[in-house]
């Protein structure tokens, strides 16, 4: 198993989720532990490993070979060894586990998967893999039953479906996935509300644009303010990271094309985090409703694409 991110080193990907070295018990053997550093709550995902590498490299940038190394941490198709997944009971960690389940089932690999849940203070959103399974472990640990592996693979297939109704309307739940109803709400919040001809921005976009309505603000200003829109933005950033929030603000500084919703006072030293944004007259108009989905920048999550003119999808207005 190849890896470029042994515990204790840093990785330069923009959506990196790191595991603190001190969070891992000394008993597991650090030379056999690797960090999986991709946060699957952000950007596009696909069921197949090869396509997953392609879409992640295309969306976030970087050399494809480097992304291949990231995903080799979760095991190549020829690797039949048992694997231990160290993480926390979080959506991002469980999505990584679901990907492992799907990959191993697709290639008829041994489904020996051990899960170890560590205290959440030690991990942000990443997971670790240990090969081979170390019998000595701390925290809550157990081997997954075959049915749990099947359910994990099924959950991953739902997550990467192009049809949002697949994940939003799934009648079955993966018992290992925490707060499933809240996760469905998280997914819903990415999509425009209403119906064709009578649509509104997504909950997330309303929160972000509203947070820029009264002043020229940076990402840190939004995350530390006490307004309702800022509290909702913090909830999103807690799951996806502040750079994802910053990237969405940058998107709105370019949309609608020619008359963007946000003006930007760009900081050249750290454009994403330190640039300042202010709601424009066009942005205020969009808070009142959309006349065309092309007015909003696309938002990609799993297999879905919000504000997609070719595959329009709307959620109900609460």
Read off the pLDDT of residues 177-209 as tens digits, 9 standing for 90 and up. 888 888 889 999 999 999 998 999 999 999 999
Phi/psi of residue 104, nearest 5 degrees: -70, -35
Q: Looking at residue 111, what is its pLDDT?
A: 67
272 in the same domain as 149: no
pLDDT in tens, 58-81: 999 988 888 888 887 665 434 566
**Same structural domain for residues 240 and 292?**
yes
pTM, two decimals, is: 0.83
In contact, 167 and 158? CB cutoff 8 Å:
yes
- pLDDT confidence of residue 175: 83
210 and 143 assigned to the same domain: no
Residues 156 and 208 in one domain: no
Query: Three-state DSSP class for 103?
Result: helix
Give domain status of residue 315, yes or no.
Answer: no
- The domain total for the chain is 2
Range of the domain at 92: 21-166
149 and 265 both lie in a single domain? no
261 token code pair: 């919703």
What three-state secondary structure class fits 190? coil
State percent of the chain over pLDDT 70.
77
| Residue 138 in domain | yes
- 130 and 200 together in one domain: no
Query: Is 181 a member of any domain?
Result: no
Q: Which of 8-22, 111-125, 299-313 has the highest mean pLDDT?
A: 299-313
Q: Identify whether the C-beta of residue 19 lies closer than 8 Å to the C-beta of residue 45.
A: no
Same domain, residue pair 155 and 205 = no
Residue 3, in any domain of the structure: no
The verdict on residue 314 lying in a domain is no
- Give dist(CA 8, CA 20) in Å, integer: 8
Residue 4 lies in a domain: no
Q: 161 and 30 share a domain?
A: yes
């Amino acid at each position: 198993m190849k890896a470029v991110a042994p515990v204790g080193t840093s990785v330069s990907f923009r959506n990196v989720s790191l595991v603190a070295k001190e969070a891992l018990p000394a008993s597991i053997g650090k030379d056999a532990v690797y960090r999986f550093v991709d946060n699957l709550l952000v950007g596009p995902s696909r069921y197949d490993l090869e396509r997953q590498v392609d879409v992640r490299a295309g969306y976030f940038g970087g050399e494809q070979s480097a992304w291949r190394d990231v995903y080799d941490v979760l095991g190549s198709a020829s690797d039949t060894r048992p694997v231990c997944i160290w993480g926390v009971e979080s959506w991002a960690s469980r999505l990584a586990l679901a990907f492992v389940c799907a990959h191993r089932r697709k290639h008829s690999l041994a489904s020996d998967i051990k899960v170890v849940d560590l205290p959440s203070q030690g991990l942000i959103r990443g997971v670790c893999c240990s090969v081979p399974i170390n019998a000595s472990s701390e925290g809550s640990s157990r081997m997954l039953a075959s049915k749990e592996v099947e359910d994990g693979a099924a959950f991953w297939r739902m997550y990467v479906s192009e049809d949002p109704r697949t994940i939003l309307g799934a009648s079955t739940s993966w018992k290992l996935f925490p707060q499933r109803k809240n996760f469905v709400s998280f997914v819903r919040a990415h999509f425009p509300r209403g119906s064709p001809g009578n649509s509104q921005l997504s909950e997330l976009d309303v929160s972000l644009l509203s947070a820029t309505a009264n002043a020229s603000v940076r990402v840190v200003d939004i995350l530390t303010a006490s307004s309702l829109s800022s509290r909702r933005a913090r909830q999103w950033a807690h799951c996806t990271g502040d750079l994802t929030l910053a990237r969405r603000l940058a998107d709105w500084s370019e949309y609608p094309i020619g008359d963007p919703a946000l003006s930007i006072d760009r900081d050249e030293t750290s454009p994403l985090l330190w640039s300042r944004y202010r709601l424009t007259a066009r942005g205020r108009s969009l808070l009142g409703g959309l006349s065309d989905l092309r007015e909003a920048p696309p938002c990609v999550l799993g297999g879905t694409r919000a504000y997609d003119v070719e595959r329009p999808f709307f959620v109900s207005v609460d």
